[in-house]
């Protein structure tokens, strides 16, 4: 490691990253991360934020040509990725993941004091990472945690390791407003401890509240830079900055919880229905308790609730991805097999699920186009040529041109890959589309375009029922009906007019 300027923990100067094929995904970027300060990178999906952040860890795309300088002062750089499951060992409980780190840090203590000292360190890191109920969290495997809980476990790891720089990639993505506030407060507390925080985010409210300096990126370049006050001041905005911020400021208001359930559900029979659903994880108490839920043809239902409330488990039960439940799930009145493996081709096509972690759902070694088109081949019987033609057209509607379609998943940003995952599910022409935080990794401009596309599909004659699992109030606002899940139960339902 090479020491940077006296007041810098990390510094990037003139960074240029060119991937095979000659495309520069980062082009001349410079930034300085200082102790106790938050440097935020904002911009559309694919703007180069994550590549810039990963450069501080010395990580680049395979085969990339890198020029410029990256200097990091001596000490660890922690990384909290957008999809934390990718860095957590699925075969080990959270307790093992954290205690392995803590035990290495107390080796110098007398043997009789080590166990309690390690325990105190782990508990302190969980507390600092805003993870309540430490005994329950420590007993679980990563897949038994919500995305928000996984993210905070990764943050706890970085804190345990004593990171001097923390790169936080979309740390509030897919989290409820209450948890977002806690994460923002924790990142502020991390900075107050003298740790430099590099925040990569689409969440403009969090950026405005936390950042000391903001860099606005577009197509690999920094197009605007300044304090939040300067960036949000109209006189300082560049054209792209203005478009990005104004779209965020005009987002829809949050849903009104607590209203009566009588309005909003159509009179037609439901296309998909769950009755008395009680789901569980091995070795854990019930995740869902006696939940009943329905979605009708052409209806958009938002499922919201705190991180870890059971929202994703509900969606996975509907899709056959979580067979450990009691109760029944029906498609147009006929009971569906609990397990995806027992469902027919028609049943698989009818209920499609789009994952929050899109990267984990793609094969890294094959081009995106072929993987998207495969849905139409496998579930609709189309020939390869016809399927690829339809896939190209749908990807283009998602804002992914021919160049993007021919790339491998690792060459797309998280937001771009999320749009490809949505296109793949839509190629099945489903009767019900279940979207788990599909807009959480997108900038506000792209998010609005995707929501407009989804609501247009729902409103078409014969359109699918749409289930939006989300923490984002602007996303929930497009739904005609909102179901609130808390502690495994449907606590309340709020009806609203779509798009209001």
The answer to whether residue 410 scores a pLDDT higher than 70 is yes
The answer to whether residue 463 scores a pLDDT higher than 50 is yes
pLDDT at position 4 is 44
Q: CB of 379 within 8 A of CB of 431?
A: no
The answer to whether residue 496 scores a pLDDT higher than 60 is no
pLDDT at position 234 is 63
pLDDT band at 378 (very low <50, low <70, confident <90, very high): very high
Q: Name the token pair of 291.
A: 């939940």
- Coil, helix or strand for 108? coil
pLDDT at position 473 is 77
Q: Name the token pair of 54.
A: 């990963």
Q: What is the tens place of the pLDDT at every residue in 212-259?
A: 999 999 999 999 999 999 888 765 557 778 777 776 554 433 333 333
Q: What is the DSSP string of 276-299?
A: EEEEE-TTS-EEEEEEEEEE-TT-
pLDDT at position 29 is 97
The 10 Å Cβ neighbour count of residue 14 is 11
CA pair distance 122, 134, nearest whole angstrom: 9
The answer to whether residue 416 scores a pLDDT higher than 80 is yes
Q: CB of 146 within 8 A of CB of 312?
A: yes
**Lowest mean pLDDT segment, chosen from 204-218, 282-296, 365-379:** 282-296
The answer to whether residue 6 scores a pLDDT higher than 70 is no
Q: What is the tens place of the pLDDT at every residue in 127-176?
A: 877 777 788 889 999 988 877 788 889 988 988 888 889 999 988 776 66
pLDDT band at 286 (very low <50, low <70, confident <90, very high): low
pLDDT at position 1 is 37
Q: Which residues contact 148 (CB under 8 A, 6 or more apart)?
A: 174, 175, 176, 179, 307, 308
Task: Give CA separation, 188 vs 37, 192, 410, in Å.
Answer: 9, 6, 31
For residues 301-329, average pLDDT: 91
pLDDT band at 2 (very low <50, low <70, confident <90, very high): very low
Task: Give CA separation, 337 vs 317, 323, 347, in Å.
Answer: 10, 9, 9
Exposure string over 125-151, b if 16+ CB within 10 A, otherwise e: bbebbbbeebebbbebbbebbbbbbbb
pLDDT at position 259 is 34
Q: How much of the chain exceeds pLDDT 70, in percent?
A: 90
pLDDT band at 185 (very low <50, low <70, confident <90, very high): confident
The answer to whether residue 441 scores a pLDDT higher than 70 is no
Lateral strand order in the sheet of 10-19: 23-33, 10-19, 65-72
What phi and psi, each to the nearest 5 degrees, are found at residue 324? -85, 75
Q: Burial level of 91, CB count in 10 A (0-12/13-18/19+)?
A: exposed
Domains of the chain: 10-249 (3.40.50.300), 272-361+428-495 (3.40.50.300)
Rounded to the nearest 10 degrees, how much is the dihedral formed by the CA atoms of 392, 398, 401, 402? -20
State if pTM tops 0.75: no
Q: Name the token pair of 92.
A: 């080990």
pLDDT at position 237 is 59
Q: What is the DSSP string of 169-214?
A: ESTTTT--HHHHHHHHHHHHHHHHTT-EEEEE-S-HHHHHHH-SEE
CA pair distance 273, 115, nearest whole angstrom: 50
For residues 438-465, average pLDDT: 82
Mean pLDDT of the chain: 86
The answer to whether residue 261 scores a pLDDT higher than 70 is no
pLDDT at position 236 is 54
Q: What is the tens place of the pLDDT at every residue in 28-82?
A: 999 999 999 999 999 887 889 999 999 999 999 989 999 999 999 877 888 988 7
Phi-psi region of 286 (alpha: psi -120 to 50; beta: other; left: phi over 0): beta
Task: Give CA separation, 453 vs 269, 442, 446, in Å.
Answer: 25, 14, 11
User: What is the C-alpha R_g of the chain?
Assistant: 23
For residues 165-189, average pLDDT: 81
Vertex 257 angle, CA 251 and 260, to 5° = 130
């Amino acid at each position: 490691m090479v020491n940077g300027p006296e007041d810098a923990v990390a510094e990037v100067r003139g960074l240029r990253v060119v991937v095979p094929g000659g495309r520069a995904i980062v082009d001349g970027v410079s930034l300085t991360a200082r102790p106790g300060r938050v440097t935020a990178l904002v911009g559309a999906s694919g703007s180069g934020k994550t590549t810039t952040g990963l450069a501080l860890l010395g990580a680049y795309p395979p085969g990339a040509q890198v020029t410029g300088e990256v200097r990091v002062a001596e000490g660890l750089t922690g990384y909290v990725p957008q999809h934390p499951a990718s860095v957590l060992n699925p075969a080990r409980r959270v307790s093992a993941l954290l205690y392995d780190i803590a035990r290495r840090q107390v080796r110098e203590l007398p043997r009789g004091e080590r166990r309690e000292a390690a325990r105190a360190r782990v508990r302190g890191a969980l507390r600092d990472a805003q993870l309540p109920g430490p005994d329950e969290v420590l007993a679980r495997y990563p897949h038994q945690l919500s995305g928000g809980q996984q993210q905070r476990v990764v943050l706890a790891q970085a804190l345990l390791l004593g990171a001097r720089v923390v790169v936080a990639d979309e740390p509030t993505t897919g989290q409820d407003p209450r948890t977002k506030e806690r994460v923002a407060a924790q990142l502020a507390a991390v900075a107050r401890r003298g740790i430099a925080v590099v925040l990569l985010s689409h969440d403009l409210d969090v950026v405005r509240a936390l950042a000391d300096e903001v860099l606005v990126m577009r197509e690999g370049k920094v197009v605007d830079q300044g304090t939040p006050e300067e960036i949000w001041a109209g006189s300082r905005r560049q054209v792209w900055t203005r478009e990005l911020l104004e779209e965020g400021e005009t987002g829809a208001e949050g849903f009104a919880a607590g209203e009566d359930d009588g309005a909003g559900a159509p009179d037609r029979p439901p296309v998909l229905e769950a009755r008395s659903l009680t789901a569980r994880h091995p070795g854990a108490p019930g995740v869902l308790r006696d939940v009943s839920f329905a979605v009708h043809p052409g209806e958009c239902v938002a499922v919201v609730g705190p991180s870890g409330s059971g929202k994703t488990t509900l969606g996975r039960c509907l899709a056959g991805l979580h067979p450990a439940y009691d109760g029944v799930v029906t498609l147009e009145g006929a009971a569906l097999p609990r397990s995806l493996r027992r469902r027919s081709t028609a049943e698989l096509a009818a209920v499609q699920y789009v994952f929050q972690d899109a990267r984990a759902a793609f094969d890294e070694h094959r081009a995106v186009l072929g993987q998207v088109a495969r849905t139409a081949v496998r579930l609709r019987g189309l020939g390869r040529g016809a399927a690829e033609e339809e896939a190209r057209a749908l990807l283009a509607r998602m804002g992914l041109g021919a160049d993007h379609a021919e790339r491998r998943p690792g060459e797309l940003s998280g937001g771009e890959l999320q749009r490809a995952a949505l296109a793949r599910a839509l190629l099945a022409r489903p009767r019900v589309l279940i979207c788990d935080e599909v807009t959480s990794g997108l900038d506000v401009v792209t998010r609005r375009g995707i929501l407009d596309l989804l609501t247009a599909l729902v409103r078409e004659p014969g359109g699918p029922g749409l289930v939006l699992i989300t923490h984002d109030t602007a996303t929930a606002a497009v739904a005609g009906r909102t179901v609130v899940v808390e502690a495994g139960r449907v606590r309340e339902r709020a009806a609203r007019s779509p798009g209001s």
